[in-house]
Amino acid sequence: MARKVDLLLLILFLVWCCNTSSSTSPEAEILIKFKSSLSHNPALDNWNVSINICDDDPKTTGFWTGVTCKDGTLFGLRLENMSLSGFINISVLVNLPSLRSLSFMNNSFHGSMPPVRELGALRALYLAYNKFSGTISDDAFQDMRSLKTLRLEENEFRGGIPGSLSSLPALVELSLEGNRFEGNIPDFIPRDWKLFDLSNNKLEGSIPPGLANIDPIAFAVSPIGNNDLCGRPLSRCKSPKKWYILIGVTVGIVFLAIAVISHRYRRRKALLLAAEEAHNKVGMAKAQSQEQTEENAKLQFVRADRPIFDLEELLTAPAEVLGGGSFGSSYKALLSNGPPVVVKRLRPMRCVGFEEFHEHMKKLGSISHPNLFPPLAFYYRNEDKLLISEFIGNGNLADHLHGHAQRTPGNIGLDWPTRLRIIKGVGRGLVHLHRALPSLSLPHGHLKSSNILLNSNYEPLLTDFGLDPLVCQDQGHQFMAAYKSPEYIRHRRISRKTDVWSLGILILELLTGKFPANYLRQGGGAANGDLAAWVRSAVREEWTAEVFDGDMMKGTKNEDGEMVRLLRIGMNCSEEEEDQRWGLKEAVEKIEELKETENSTEDEFYSSYGSEVEVKSVGRE
Ligand SMILES: *[C@@H]1O[C@H](CO)[C@@H](O)[C@H](O)[C@H]1NC(C)=O
Ligand SMILES: *[C@@H]1O[C@H](CO)[C@@H](O)[C@H](O)[C@H]1NC(C)=O
Ligand SMILES: *[C@@H]1O[C@H](CO)[C@@H](O)[C@H](O)[C@H]1NC(C)=O
Ligand SMILES: *[C@@H]1O[C@H](CO)[C@@H](O)[C@H](O)[C@H]1NC(C)=O
């Protein structure tokens, strides 16, 4: 009998035990089911039903990549930067009642907007940087009363902006930037926006009054020049009646009068407003900071010798995208009365106050040298910093070296005399920059072939220099050329010799025609691997002539010796160890000595490289 009872207990125990140990949390099952409709990604291999989703044990947390918890409960999914595609099965996620935040940013999802409305309690939805397309139905966000953040930027959505967004009570961050939304902007109920960006779309019509006080950049196309939107904060709408109503509602009769006068007396208006602002500055601290913002929201010209245009002109000018640089995208704006200008949107510069920014820009604008190309003006406002420069039509050195430039029949690439002239100009510009900015540890900081413009005579013009003090220290600067240097990768240190390293890499790129892989890497990795190491190994294996770019060798006779000398300079400049690396002065002096033609042998190179490094490495800036 006792045995029987024991057996019964055992069975009961087994049922109890195995139920618990094998019963995985329902949430885990749901997530696994959700994952099954996504494309396979190794990053999610650690999603494992045997492991608790929200485990406080530090040894096991982090096993569910991308799953976030709050107070031991599932809170969000953050599946970013994973090249995911497939189907986002919302009907599966509906079974996760505690889900509040959903991010699929920067993946490869395509197709139409998922029916997120079914997740009525969602607070944040990030679908930015994917390939979603199609129109979004007007009621797509109906009743999402908790939705605070909606980020759909950089997709391919088209059609109207869904009207259901305009009345969501909690929404304070909205970015639809970089899609193809068209038509009128719905009238959003006024609120304190933390983020509002509709730029780079195809919107039209008058901007609703509730948005009259938004930063105009939020409506710009690319990001400047939106011809089809009008009304505050952009230029007034063409129809006088609309304009009257709009201005009447938003600014009032007094401002209308000023605006009418200003139509004839533009300059006087500017003076009046400036005087008024100056007068108002005596007000309370709060009012003062408001004024400050208004003041900042203007184009600031940093060079005295250039024609002045205003922000409105810039914002309404037709524009075309030039490309996405590392600081941000750049655009060409065709001003109605003046030469075209280039506008760069500087993304990683959110940490510097207006005064500091202004001072520094004025300093850069005051630098004058035939090989330096400082900006004309800038626009500063919270999230957005625009840098405006003249447009140079002949492209940049990288385009010419790596074949993106248009090859006209007569244009067979850069020959040796041109390359020599370019590197001499770069050297001169760099020396001047180091003299003009004595207090900066990185006078240039971002020297690379795509930041060297070529004018119609193939004279180099250095751009994007001196920006290091404006970039956010914690995350902003990894993309800059200087921060790919061996000293930064190894010791998190930069110095004035770091610019010399960039010059060295540039010389090697110029001679070999190879793109330096150093600049593709996102920090980390083997220091100085890549181009410099490749050249070194190639030279060691004694096939020097073959490191040179074929385009450069065309039609040359006796210039090898000079090319080899420049190669040696490039190698001494890209030395990994800073104390072995040449100083700028010495490097540029050596470059200046080079000639277009001269007899010389490669033997000289082999005998001198290595031994000379030690002798000449004393050069210090
Ligand atoms: C899940 O985790 C358990 C326990 O750690 C392990 O034995 C099992 O192999 C894992 N399963 C998968 C599919 O990784
Ligand atoms: C995805 O990449 C962006 C940009 O590199 C970064 O800011 C973000 O933190 C990344 N997201 C995750 C979850 O790692
Ligand atoms: C997207 O993800 C890639 C890595 O997968 C990363 O290098 C890139 O910076 C990310 N872009 C954005 C805009 O977050
Ligand atoms: C999405 O999930 C639901 C519920 O589990 C299922 O019925 C449906 O087939 C799934 N859809 C796709 C396309 O996988």
Total number of domains constituting the chain: 4
Answer with the one of 345, 372, 391 that is the final residue of a domain.
391
Ligand 2 centre from 80 Cα, in Å?
6
Task: Specify the pLDDT at position 430.
Answer: 96
Identify which of 24, 31, 36, 48 to mutate to test ligand 1's pocket (most ligand atoms within 8 A of the CB).
48
Question: Which structural domain, as residue segments, surrounds residue 261?
Answer: 243-296
Mean pLDDT for the stretch of residues 21-25 = 55
Q: How far apart are CA 308 and CA 366, in angstroms?
A: 16
Counting every residue written for the chain, the total comes to 621
Task: Specify the pLDDT at position 621.
Answer: 30
Mean pLDDT for the stretch of residues 19-41 = 79
Is 140 a member of any domain? yes
How many CB atoms sit inside 10 A of residue 48's CB? Answer: 13
CA angle 157, 162, 165 (to 5 degrees): 120
Task: Specify the pLDDT at position 606.
Answer: 38
Ligand 4 centre from 592 Cα, in Å?
70
Q: How far apart are CA 200 and CA 203, in angstroms?
A: 9
Helix (H) or strand (E) holding 258: helix 253-264
Higher pLDDT, 396 or 477: 396
Report the candidate in 40, 31, 10, 115 with the shortest Cα–Cα distance to residue 77. Answer: 31
Backbone φ and ψ for 324, nearest 5 degrees, come out as -105, 105
Judge if the beta carbon of residue 613 lies within 6 A of ligand 4.
no
Mean pLDDT for the stretch of residues 84-100 = 94
Judge if the beta carbon of residue 50 lies within 6 A of ligand 1.
yes
Judge if the beta carbon of residue 78 lies within 6 A of ligand 2.
yes
Mean pLDDT for the stretch of residues 459-475 = 85
pLDDT at 510 over 80: yes
Q: For tokens 């914002």, what's the residue? A: 315
Q: What is the pLDDT of residues 339-350, one digit of tens each?
A: 888 888 776 676
Judge if the beta carbon of residue 68 lies within 6 A of ligand 2.
no
Indicate the pLDDT class of residue 528, thresholds 50, 70 and 90.
very low
Indicate the pLDDT class of residue 63, thresholds 50, 70 and 90.
confident
Higher pLDDT, 427 or 533: 427
Could you tell me the maximum CA-CA distance found in the chain, to the nearest angstrom? 110
Task: Specify the pLDDT at position 473.
Answer: 72
What is the secondary structure of 85-118 as a DSSP string? -B---HHHHTT-TT--EEE--SS--EESPP-GGG
Work out which ligand 3 atom sits closest to the CA atom of 154.
13
Contact 171, 148 (CB under 8 A): yes
Mean pLDDT for the stretch of residues 113-128 = 95
Identify which of 64, 65, 80 to mutate to test ligand 2's pocket (most ligand atoms within 8 A of the CB).
80
Higher pLDDT, 172 or 474: 172
> What are the start-end ranges of the E strands in 225-313?
229-230, 299-301
Ligand 4 centre from 295 Cα, in Å?
54
Is 186 a member of any domain? yes
Q: What is the pLDDT of residues 364-373, one digit of tens each?
A: 999 999 999 9
Judge if the beta carbon of residue 92 lies within 6 A of ligand 4.
yes
Mean pLDDT for the stretch of residues 330-354 = 79
Task: Specify the pLDDT at position 264.
Answer: 39
Indicate the pLDDT class of residue 228, thresholds 50, 70 and 90.
confident
Work out which ligand 3 atom sits closest to the CA atom of 82.
5
Task: Specify the pLDDT at position 222.
Answer: 56
Handedness of CA 158, 163, 166, 169 (dihedral sign): negative
Query: Ligand 4: which residue has its CA nearest to atom 14?
Result: 37
Helix (H) or strand (E) holding 216: none
Is 207 a member of any domain? yes
The residue type found at 324 is G
Of 3-17, 78-92, 333-347, 455-469, the one with minimum mean pLDDT is 3-17
Q: How far apart are CA 77 and CA 415, in angstroms?
A: 54
Tokens found for residue 458: 């193939």
Report the candidate in 175, 185, 182 with the shortest Cα–Cα distance to residue 207. Answer: 185
Q: Are residues 342 and 252 in the same domain?
A: no
Mean pLDDT for the stretch of residues 248-276 = 39
Q: Could you give the count of Cα atoms lying within 13 Å of 44 in the half-sphere of its Cβ?
A: 23
Ligand 3 centre from 82 Cα, in Å?
9
Give the ligand with the smallest distance to the CA of 42: 1
pLDDT at 254 over 70: no
Judge if the beta carbon of residue 441 lies within 6 A of ligand 2.
no
- For residue 505, what is the domain's CATH number? 1.10.510.10
Q: Could you give the count of Cα atoms lying within 13 Å of 501 in the half-sphere of its Cβ?
A: 32
Task: Specify the pLDDT at position 611.
Answer: 33
Give the ligand with the smallest distance to the CA of 129: 3
Work out which ligand 2 atom sits closest to the CA atom of 475.
7
Q: For tokens 């042998």, what's the residue? A: 601
Contact 432, 367 (CB under 8 A): yes
Task: Specify the pLDDT at position 302.
Answer: 81
Of 276-290, 425-439, 499-513, the one with minimum mean pLDDT is 276-290
Answer with the one of 391, 410, 434 that is the final residue of a domain.
391
Q: Are residues 211 and 336 in the same domain?
A: no
Is 17 a member of any domain? no
Q: Are residues 532 and 591 in the same domain?
A: yes
Q: Are residues 176 and 160 in the same domain?
A: yes
CA angle 590, 370, 414 (to 5 degrees): 65
Task: Specify the pLDDT at position 148.
Answer: 95
Q: Are residues 353 and 418 in the same domain?
A: no
Q: Are residues 492 and 400 in the same domain?
A: yes
Higher pLDDT, 542 or 577: 577
Q: How far apart are CA 519 and CA 483, in angstroms?
A: 9
Q: How far apart are CA 547 and CA 570, in angstroms?
A: 13
pLDDT at 249 over 60: no
Indicate the pLDDT class of residue 317, thresholds 50, 70 and 90.
confident
Indicate the pLDDT class of residue 541, thresholds 50, 70 and 90.
low
Query: Ligand 2: which residue has its CA nearest to atom 3?
Result: 81
Q: Are residues 444 and 523 in the same domain?
A: yes
Q: For tokens 């490749």, what's the residue? A: 534
Q: Are residues 307 and 424 in the same domain?
A: no
Q: Compute the 3-state secondary structure of the chain and give helix, strand, coil in percent, each to the nearest 5.
A: 40, 15, 45
What is the secondary structure of 143-197 as a DSSP string? T-TT--EEE--SSEEEEPPPGGGTT-SS--EEE--SSEEEEPPP-PPP---SEEE
pLDDT at 500 over 90: yes
Q: Are residues 96 and 171 in the same domain?
A: yes
- For residue 167, what is the domain's CATH number? 3.80.10.10
Mean pLDDT for the stretch of residues 161-188 = 93
Query: Ligand 4: which residue has its CA nearest to atom 5?
Result: 92
Work out which ligand 4 atom sits closest to the CA atom of 87.
13
Task: Specify the pLDDT at position 54.
Answer: 81
Judge if the beta carbon of residue 39 lies within 6 A of ligand 3.
no
Higher pLDDT, 593 or 551: 593
Q: Convert 264-295 to b/e letters by CB count within 10 Å (16 or more is b).
A: eeeeebeeeeeeeeeeeeeeeeeeeeebeeee
Ligand 4 centre from 45 Cα, in Å?
21
- For residue 385, what is the domain's CATH number? 3.30.200.20
Task: Specify the pLDDT at position 504.
Answer: 94
pLDDT at 325 over 80: no
Tokens found for residue 14: 């087994």
Query: Measuring CA to CA, how many Å separate 100 from each of 63, 66, 237?
Result: 20, 14, 41
Report the candidate in 391, 397, 383, 301 with the shortest Cα–Cα distance to residue 345. Answer: 383
pLDDT at 451 over 80: yes
Summary mean pLDDT of the chain: 77
Cα-based torsion angle of the residue sequence 179, 180, 186, 192 in order, rounded to the nearest 10 degrees:
20
Report the candidate in 192, 262, 181, 258 with the shortest Cα–Cα distance to residue 226. Answer: 181
Sequence-distant (6+) residues with CB within 8 A of 82 are: 41, 43, 44, 66, 107
Q: How far apart are CA 568 and CA 586, in angstroms?
A: 13
Task: Specify the pLDDT at position 224.
Answer: 46
Is 7 a member of any domain? no
Is 77 a member of any domain? yes
pLDDT at 25 over 90: no
Task: Specify the pLDDT at position 476.
Answer: 55
Ligand 3 centre from 153 Cα, in Å?
14
Task: Specify the pLDDT at position 172.
Answer: 93
Q: Are residues 312 and 447 in the same domain?
A: no
Query: Ligand 1: which residue has its CA nearest to atom 7?
Result: 50
Higher pLDDT, 348 or 219: 219
Task: Specify the pLDDT at position 470.
Answer: 86
Ligand 2 centre from 399 Cα, in Å?
29
Is 464 a member of any domain? yes
pLDDT at 232 over 60: yes
Judge if the beta carbon of residue 106 lies within 6 A of ligand 3.
yes
Percent of the chain with pLDDT over 70: 71
Q: Are residues 292 and 302 in the same domain?
A: no
Higher pLDDT, 234 or 523: 234
How many CB atoms sit inside 10 A of residue 23's CB? Answer: 10
Q: Are residues 164 and 214 in the same domain?
A: yes
Of 145-149, 210-214, 345-349, 563-567, the one with minimum mean pLDDT is 345-349
Is 12 a member of any domain? no
Task: Specify the pLDDT at position 33.
Answer: 94
Ligand 2 centre from 461 Cα, in Å?
34
Mean pLDDT for the stretch of residues 255-267 = 40
Answer with the one of 202, 230, 258 that is the final residue of a domain.
230
Task: Specify the pLDDT at position 202.
Answer: 87
Mean pLDDT for the stretch of residues 489-496 = 87
Of 101-110, 220-229, 277-286, 332-341, the one with minimum mean pLDDT is 277-286
